[in-house]
Chains A and B, each alone.
Chain A
Amino acid sequence: MALLEIENLHANVAGNEILRGVDLTVDSGEVHAIMGPNGSGKSTLAHVLAGRPGYEVTQGRVLYKGQDLLAMAPEIRAREGIFLAFQYPVEIPGVSNVYFLKNALNAIRKHRGLSELDAFDFLSLVKEKAKLVEIDEELVKRPVNEGFSGGEKKRNEIFQMAILDPTLAVLDETDSGLDIDALRIVASGVNSLRSPDRAMIVVTHYQRLLNYIIPDFLHVLVEGRIVREGGKELALELEEKGYAWLEKEPPLPAVPAR
């Protein structure tokens, strides 16, 4: 059984059909990149997986660990191990990062039948993970994303991912708006979290990120369908030729789940 099986997924946003039959299978330990032009449905796919209200699935199904993912509330998906790194992380003034994360982590632990972490154990976890993703500990104590630079917000997403230790991480355009130094730090954070027990779906518009996060598989999404799949060499081809040559491609036939 694969970790994630997406079959013939169709989804509407505000009445417009954005996903028009996506098939994708992801196994533990794998890193999948999803590339595509603006408006191709990359971010929609990421949000549908995380359960954002207003994203309406009209056809198809998604199995996560063999269970119907689409029937789960967003918080249940998170507790079951799905993590979405947001393209535009939300600012929450008045609530510190550590308070927010401690509650999130303990909600996840409770769901899994684990005891809640006390303040001391939680803070040592914060120290350890902050070092891993190279985020300033002071930043971690500040209100969630308030007054953070674009790079700090993205780094905070990766830091949250490190703390919450997901089984399936979906990174939605984590590279957008980052300069090369910030990109390198974020990518090295992501790489340090690669593990045989964790799968990642990296959604990006630019090939640049894939110089740092080398995917096992690459899928090209155009107009709500996956039109081409390949290894990391496909990214270089896209870099060279752009997306235009793929826009006339017919969708790939559905691949039966592995």
Chain B
Amino acid sequence: MEAVVEETVRSALERSLADTFRERRSPRDPEWLVEIRRDAMERLTEIGFPTMRQEEWKYTNVAPILKTAFVSAPEEGPRRVEEPREGTQLVFINGRHAPDLSSTPRDGVQVGSLRHLLTAEPELARPHLARIARDGNAFAAANAAFLEDGAFVRIPKGAAVPEPIHLVFLSEPVFGPTMSHIRNLIVSEPGSQASVVETYIGTAGELYFTNAVTEVALGDGAILDHYKLERESTSAYHVATMEVLQERDSRLTSHSMTFGGALVRNDLNVRLAAEGADCTLNGLFVGSGNQHLDNHTLIDHAKPHGTSRELYKGIMDGKSRGVFHGKIIVRPDAQKTDAMQTNKNLLLSREALVNSTPALEIFADDVKCRHGSTIGQLDAGALFYLRSRGIGEREARDLLVYAFASDVSSRIRIAPLRALVEEHLGLRLPGGGA
């Protein structure tokens, strides 16, 4: 009888990560940070990258990402100075802060690179870093193991920031496939109010891998509008986790807009950790060609009187595939929870596909929870109605796609961003917004 020898075959990415981890030197970092990285690397080794046999990854095969020996980008000198856009803007290239492309933050708001913070004021990061995002998946663990740079945003107690804070993550691979383990920390202190926009973008057609984690802490009564605009190259891989911890009466509005990337996985986990917390999650994912766009959300109602509103819409064309998995947990303590989740999907071709799985886990008995999910095609009656008025078939289709997405896109409160999203929706009609 032949013995079956189980051998762990490590992927190109795993080998590259292990080598890089072994060789890295960061002598000036505080011991607690070194510990975070070490624990994360151990966790990554222990759990390994997910396979489709795991429930959470049932529809998403990460093998293409693992096949490439991505490397972190080398340090670069100062770059050309460009005119920064209005408001505060922080730019990262291949995961590294580009100070010359960034603009000065407004008074009273702290916006800078996490790397700088970890050198200058590490104690500001310590209470939150890797504490909001714990026990994440293998990608989040890899991110923590290589935690080095990203954006740090702190809105001080009671401050209201009118202008949006822009965080731009640009990938420009120069020496082959680059990976960026971007780590962001947003701290909204009690009673503060702000808007933060994360934009992920890269050189068209290039292969690279963005592995981002954003941790968000909302203090008592804090209000945050968070936008994530994903416009990566259609050859790129993008895996991102956003972990939010909400304190009493805080309010989060999240807008996740996914357009680019060959393979995209978004995990958005929100914990309503104190009474009266309120979150609204808006999502739009628009795929074509062979794109694979996966959105996993988890809303964890831990305390009473929490409200959550979730609306995700998918528009899939070509041979693209969309995934929506939305879980809502209502814990025994979370009485009077009011949760509503909706996922609607539009398939524009015969070969496009969407898997939609809502999941409610309710352990309290006095709650209001509703969820619904639909998958459909363009309404032939509506298409004919528009054409019968003289509008061409292609424009009519565009208009109906626009209309389908409008209840998500119209919630974007930053006008230029809304215009950009409408452009991505392929609105080709003359005369602008509908």
Cβ A107 vs Cβ B391 within 8 A: yes
In the complex, whether B77 has a CB less than 8 A from a CB of chain A is no
A98 to chain B, nearest CB (A): 9
A 88-143 contacts with B by CB, 8 A: 89-90, 92-96, 99-108, 111, 116, 119
Q: Mark contacts of A58-99 with chain B using CB atoms, 8 A cut-off: 1 yes-contact digit, 0 otherwise.
A: 000000000000000111011100011010011011111001
Q: Mark contacts of B377-397 with chain A using CB atoms, 8 A cut-off: 1 yes-contact digit, 0 otherwise.
A: 001111011111111110110
Query: Complex: how many Å from CA A180 to CA B58?
Result: 59
Query: Complex: how many Å from CA A84 to CA B83?
Result: 53
Q: Which residue of B lies closest to A75 (CB)?
A: B387
In the complex, whether A51 has a CB less than 8 A from a CB of chain B is yes
Of B171-179, B197-205, B400-408, the one with at least 4 CB within 8 A of chain A: B400-408
Cβ B384 vs Cβ A74 within 8 A: yes
Enumerate chain A interface residues (CB-CB to B < 8 A): 50-54, 73-75, 77-79, 83-84, 86, 89-90, 92-96, 99-108, 111, 116, 119, 160, 164
Cβ B434 vs Cβ A84 within 8 A: no
> Which residues from A are CB-within-8-Å of B434?
94-96, 99-100
A-B pairs, top 10 by smallest CB distance, nearest first, are A94-B406, A78-B390, A104-B389, A94-B403, A74-B387, A90-B385, A99-B434, A107-B390, A108-B390, A95-B434
Cβ A79 vs Cβ B390 within 8 A: yes
Cβ A75 vs Cβ B390 within 8 A: yes
Q: Given that A100-B434, A103-B395, A106-B430 are contacting pairs, would A93 and B407 also be in contact in the complex, using a CB cutoff of 8 Å?
A: yes
A50-B388, A92-B399 given; 9 more Cβ-contact pairs under 8 Å:
A75-B393, A78-B388, A90-B381, A95-B402, A104-B390, A107-B391, A107-B392, A116-B430, A164-B390
Q: What bracket does the count of chain B residues touching chain A fall in?
A: 20 to 34
In the complex, whether B410 has a CB less than 8 A from a CB of chain A is yes
> Which residues from A are CB-within-8-Å of B404?
94
Q: Given that A92-B400, A93-B403, A100-B434 are contacting pairs, would A53 and B384 also be in contact in the complex, using a CB cutoff of 8 Å?
A: yes
Query: Complex: how many Å from CA A96 to CA B382?
Result: 14
Q: Given that A92-B403, A106-B430 are contacting pairs, would A164 and B382 also be in contact in the complex, using a CB cutoff of 8 Å?
A: no
Does more than half of chain B's interface fall in helix, strand or loop, or is it mixed? helix
Cβ A99 vs Cβ B382 within 8 A: no
In the complex, whether B429 has a CB less than 8 A from a CB of chain A is yes
Query: Complex: how many Å from CA A104 to CA B430?
Result: 11
Query: Complex: how many Å from CA A178 to CA B429?
Result: 34
A168 to chain B, nearest CB (A): 13
> Which residues from B are CB-within-8-Å of A74?
384, 387-388
In the complex, whether B64 has a CB less than 8 A from a CB of chain A is no
Picked from B384, B385, B431, the residue with its CB within 8 Å of the CB of A99 is B431
Cβ B387 vs Cβ A78 within 8 A: yes
Q: Mark contacts of B103-118 with chain A using CB atoms, 8 A cut-off: 1 yes-contact digit, 0 otherwise.
A: 0000000000000000
Query: Complex: how many Å from CA A44 to CA B407?
Result: 34
Give 24 pairs: A residue, B residue, CB < 8 Å, sorted on A: A75-B396, A78-B390, A83-B388, A89-B385, A90-B382, A92-B400, A93-B403, A93-B407, A94-B404, A94-B406, A94-B434, A95-B399, A95-B403, A96-B434, A99-B431, A100-B389, A102-B431, A103-B429, A104-B389, A104-B390, A107-B390, A108-B390, A111-B390, A164-B389
